[in-house]
Amino acid sequence: MSRNVHGFDLEARLNRRTFLKGCAMAAAALGLSDDMFPKLVKAASSPRRPPVVWLHFQECTGCTEALLRASHPDIGRLILDIISLDYHETVMAAAGNQAEENLRSTLERYNGRFLCVVEGAIPTKDGGIYCKIGGRTAMEILEDVAPKSAAVIAIGTCASFGGVQAASPNPTGAVGVRDLFNARPVINISGCPPNPVSFLGTVLHFLTFKRLPPTDQLGRPLFAYGRRIHDHCERRPHFDEGRFADQFGDSGHREGYCLYKLGCKGPETYSNCPTVRFNDVGAWPVGIGHGCIGCTEPRFWDTMTPFYERLPHVSIPGTNGISSSADSAGSKILGITAAAIGIHAAAGIGKRFLKNKPAETDNT
Ligand code: FSX
Ligand code: SF4
Ligand code: F3S
């Protein structure tokens, strides 16, 4: 089945099994209980899909790429299945005046009811002239669109905190959405790029409970950014035992030892990367041998660089007899257990639901 959205055909309908697997993954990421799962599936299956206006400002489009090219299981298609993507400059067929007309008519038709997704930072210097689309600055577009939305999702570290554009000396005065706008709820799905499951979970939470999920003080959903990378990392037992890779390719690196001395910023970074991972190969940066560069954190281009030098304020085993600061073996065990629960929950919820619902054939 395909839908036509302002000239954009979405070959997005998934078979039931894949659809439920994706919902189960989002439910597990959200930490929902089993009895909430049918409610989430019902919300995701609703024929009344929420209209989405997706704005692109200063960015590399990696957030969109990560989302639309995601598998695990085919998160991109699932997202296109549960929302109505009415305006998105990268993927819509319309261009020029027709694209502008699409935006105008969507705002008029769905005033107060659509989700506004912002990808990219907003330049503010010199009246915002460093990012203009259709003759309007990013600031003007945001000021036009965001107040008419039901809620705003800032996707990526650029839209959340300014990202690479805001790195010192920030020549265009780039800022994140919340620095300019707070008349509607704004949630930050940070990461460069962020994990599509965090975006999916946020949208499904909004559809199921009619509100955005609870956030930390940086506006990031707690379900995805409430835990520190270091506490869930599979290399953490090596950290605790003082086993470190000293160089890329050395024996410690090949043995999977901790990457702290190679510059890993996991001890100061909050994200679900070690537990949710990326795509169906289950990879994440530290898992494949590169330290975390802290891409979910504000100003990480300034505060987490040089990327290949160790963090200065982390107590490591064997120094002053202290293990890692606020994170003892207890939180390590808790973290590993939580990760295991997350994975099992996704598999278990999906299986239980599938038992009662026969799989349908792919109808795309
Ligand atoms: Fe920023 Fe998104 Fe980094 Fe790129 O567009 S968060 S530069 S991966 O992709 O905004
Ligand atoms: Fe994992 Fe990095 Fe922490 Fe080492 S420093 S345990 S590699 S997050
Ligand atoms: Fe980014 Fe670190 Fe995760 S670099 S993708 S927050 S492991």
DSSP string, 188-235: EE-SSSPPHHHHHHHHHHHHHHSSPPPB-TTS-BHHHHSSBGGGT-TT
Q: 132: which strand partners?
A: 137
* Residues 204 and 49: beta-carbon distance below 8 Å: no
Looking from the CA of residue 293, the nearest atom of ligand 3 is 4
Q: Name the token pair of 5.
A: 């959205």
Q: Closest by alpha carbon to 50, among 133, 109, 92?
A: 109
- pLDDT at residue 73, rounded to an integer: 66
The per-residue pLDDT for 9 is 40
Cα–ligand 3 centroid distance for 176 (angstroms): 19
Which pLDDT tens digits describe the chain residue by residue (364 residues)? Answer: 334 444 444 445 678 888 898 899 999 999 999 999 999 999 999 988 999 999 999 999 999 999 888 777 678 888 888 999 999 988 888 999 999 999 999 999 999 999 999 999 999 999 999 999 999 999 999 999 999 999 999 999 999 999 999 999 999 999 999 999 989 999 999 999 999 999 999 999 999 999 999 999 999 999 999 999 999 999 999 999 999 999 999 999 999 999 999 999 999 999 999 999 998 788 999 999 999 999 999 999 999 999 999 999 898 887 654 444 434 333 333 333 334 333 333 434 444 443 433 333 232 2
Ligand nearest to the CA of 260: 2
The Cα 316–Cα 329 span in angstroms is 13
With beta carbons less than 8 A apart as the criterion, state whether 239 and 260 touch: yes
Nearest atom of ligand 3 to the alpha carbon of 266: 2
In testing the pocket of ligand 3, which one of 293, 305, 308 has its CB within 8 Å of the most ligand atoms? 293
For the CA of 190, the closest atom of ligand 1 is 6
Q: Which atom of ligand 2 has the smallest separation from the CA of 266? A: 8
Q: Which atom of ligand 3 is nearest to the CA of 297?
A: 6
Output the six-digit token pair for 116.
Answer: 């506004």
pTM: 0.86
Q: How many CA atoms lie within 13 A of 347 on its CB side?
A: 6
What are the chain's domains?
47-225 (3.40.50.700), 227-335 (4.10.480.10)
- In DSSP terms, 152 is beta-bridged to 116, 186
Among residues 52, 46, 42, which one has the least CA distance to residue 20?
42
Is ligand 1 within 6 A of the CB of residue 120?
A: yes
**55 alpha carbon, closest ligand:** 1
- Cβ 164 under 6 angstroms from ligand 1: yes
- Cα 230 to middle of ligand 2, angstroms: 5
What is the helix, strand, coil percentage profile of the chain, to 5? 45, 15, 40
Q: Distance, CA 259 to ligand 2 centroid (Å)?
A: 6
- The C-alpha angle with vertex 61 and arms to 60 and 66, in degrees rounded to 5, equals 120
Beta-carbon contacts of 224 under 8 Å, excluding residues fewer than 6 positions away, are 29, 189, 195, 197, 198, 201, 202, 271, 272, 276
